[in-house]
Amino acid sequence: MASTSQLKQEPDPTFTNDDLKPTTLNQRTLSRLEMAALWAALVVSVPMYYLAGSLVDLGMAWWQGIATVIAANVILLFPLILTGHPGTRYGISFPVLSRSAFGIRGAHIPTLLRALVGCGWYGIDSWIGGNAIFLLLPKTVQESAIAESVSWLGTSPLEFACFLTFWVAQLLFVWKGMDGIRVLQKFSAPILVFLTCCLLGWSYVKAGGFSQMLSLSSRLSNSEFWALFFPSLTANISCWATLALNIPDFSRFAKSQKDQATGQLGLPVFMGAFTFVGLAVTSSTKVIFGEVISDPIKLLGRIDGVLIKVLAVFGISLAVITTNIPANVVAPTNALLNLSPKIFTFQRGALLTALIGIGFQPWRLLGSSENFVNKWLVGYSVLLGPIGGIILADYYLIRGTNLSIEDLYTLSPDGAYYYYRGYNLVALGALTVGIFPLIPGLLHEVGILSSVLGIFSVIYDNSWFFGFFSAGIVYWIVSCLTGTRIKNQLMDDPLLSNTP
């Protein structure tokens, strides 16, 4: 990591450690192809397949589903590239970047909110991995008494035991840190693409060609389609809105801005291709089995053949690990490092992330397509949209991409990001403005409120857009009116000579 000599003053020890310091030029080795490979490994995952299949399950035709997914990911490409810029330029992670907008202490709020979502995703992916283990068990064990659901637990003791088994096994990979993640991503991407093609080939043969696979038409009227389109668009954006926030955690290792920006194109390309597989295979299940099966785990349970199941479980496990670690461990761990660099290491943060993931009870979140899309994906965009809007407004509109690296690591009241006792009240107010109007729709969706005004349901269905733009615009306007102090990055800052 960067030595403290790169900074003009000794950084405050409560706000830095080796994982939070800016990366050096020697550490920036991530090429555009490796960045694209990262997206390939992230996209080829069970939740993304499940999301694509859910669109068919909820009534869309395959082409409507693909159009929805591609539109969402093209939209998301812009905040991804924009938020990745400061990571590459200054070598800083998402928690450190957040200090600019929210304050040296206030940054804990957005990073911990992002971390909370990551913990939930970690639990979901681990549950999917546990289900893969369950598939390999003998039929007699799967149908035994311990495989029966227990009401207070919400699942069966056997499935929960499989979940914990995968949970523990996954931690062995997490323990190797970022270096282990990059090696795993590099070799897993081609394997996952190959296994995905095998799944598509299987359904092609079983269904009797693409004409049969894609014969399932839309079950929605025009008004019903648009009523489903906007929450589905938000849900698809929400899938990667998590990475759109903490993409600096990865772009800080990129060789150049060109590498990080062009590498991000891997998201819409691979997401579009994988969505086609998910939609085509899900549509084919109606022809093959007589019913739509959007859950890939349930689909694999219907496929005969030990070898096929072993390969499928291997693919699912690899897909879960290569998605779960970079997407759902790095951000929570960095947030905890930012919270207390003295207490937390990468490994300790990863362990706490995994433990909190159990508390989310992922088996309930995956209980139905409606729960997964409307309650989970759209629900957490209530938090992430406003944070993204504020950070981009601060970096581009207020600061013109100029940051003082020294002040991002100091608790001095003279620092540019100290604001009021370490908190930027303007950012916290804008965050409230972006979140508060979305709360009634969220409470209605989860069943706490029996009814709300129609306007609240509409803005909830578009929560990421509403929160992103409302919070960002309010932050920009109020910052300009109140004359938020800006300390421009000096052009002779030592770090600028080390950044691409």
Whether pLDDT at 432 is above 90: yes
Residue 73's nearest CA partner among 251, 229, 236 is 236
Q: Are 88 and 290 in contact (CB under 8 A)?
A: no
Average pLDDT of the chain to the nearest whole number: 85
Whether pLDDT at 393 is above 80: yes
pLDDT, average across residues 316-344: 79
Predicted pLDDT of residue 275:
87
Looking at mean pLDDT, say which of 59-73, 147-161, 225-239, 428-442 comes out highest: 428-442
Q: Which residue has the higher pLDDT, 172 or 24?
A: 24
pLDDT in tens, 374-383: 888 889 999 9
Which residue type does 325 have? I
Whether pLDDT at 110 is above 90: yes
Predicted pLDDT of residue 54:
83
How far, in Å, CA of 366 to CA of 385, rounded? Answer: 23
Tokens read off for 400:
């013109």
Whether pLDDT at 107 is above 80: yes
How far, in Å, CA of 476 to CA of 480, rounded? Answer: 6
Q: What is this structure's pTM?
A: 0.84
Whether pLDDT at 3 is above 60: no
CA distances from residue 8 to 67, 418, 422 in whole angstroms, order as listed: 50, 17, 20
Name the β-bridge partners of 155. 150
pLDDT bucket at 389, cuts 50 / 70 / 90: very high
Residue 319's nearest CA partner among 184, 164, 117 is 184
How far, in Å, CA of 88 to CA of 353, rounded? Answer: 26
Predicted pLDDT of residue 59:
87
pLDDT, average across residues 53-68: 87
Q: Which residue has the higher pLDDT, 318 or 67?
A: 67
Q: Which of 103-117, 250-264, 323-337, 398-412 has the lowest mean pLDDT?
A: 323-337
Whether pLDDT at 369 is above 90: no
Per-residue HEC secondary structure of the chain comes to CCCHHHCCCCCCHHHCCCCCCCCCHHHCCECHHHHHHHHHHHHCCHHHHHHHHHHHHCCCCHHHHHHHHHHHHHHHHHHHHHHHHHHHHHCCCHHHHHHHHHCCCCCHHHHHHHHHHHHHHHHHHHHHHHHHHHHHCCHHHHCCHHHCCECCCCECHHHHHHHHHHHHHHHHHHCCHHHHHHHHHHHHHHHHHHHHHHHHHHHHHHHCCHHHHCCCCCCCCHHHHHHHHHHHHHHHHHHHHHHHHHCHHHHCCECCHHHHHHHCCHHHHHHHHHHHHHHHHHHHHHHHHCCCCCCHHHHHHHCCCHHHHHHHHHHHHHHHHHHHHHHHCHHHHHHHHHHCCCCCCHHHHHHHHHHHHHHCCHHHHCCCHHHHHHHHHHHHHHHHHHHHHHHHHHHHHHCCCCCCCHHHHCCCCCCCCCCECCECHHHHHHHHHHHHHHHHHHHHHCCCCCCCCHHHHHHHHCHHHHHHHHHHHHHHHHHHHHCCCCCCCCCCCHHHHHCC
Radius of gyration in angstroms for the set of CA atoms belonging to the chain, rounded to a whole number? 23
pLDDT, average across residues 293-301: 80
pLDDT in tens, 131-181: 888 888 888 898 899 989 888 888 999 999 999 999 988 887 777 655 656
Predicted pLDDT of residue 41:
75
Q: What percent of the chain has pLDDT over 90?
A: 34
pLDDT bucket at 89, cuts 50 / 70 / 90: very high
Tokens read off for 67:
């159009």
Whether pLDDT at 495 is above 50: no
pLDDT bucket at 2, cuts 50 / 70 / 90: very low
Predicted pLDDT of residue 482:
87
Predicted pLDDT of residue 235:
86
Predicted pLDDT of residue 490:
41
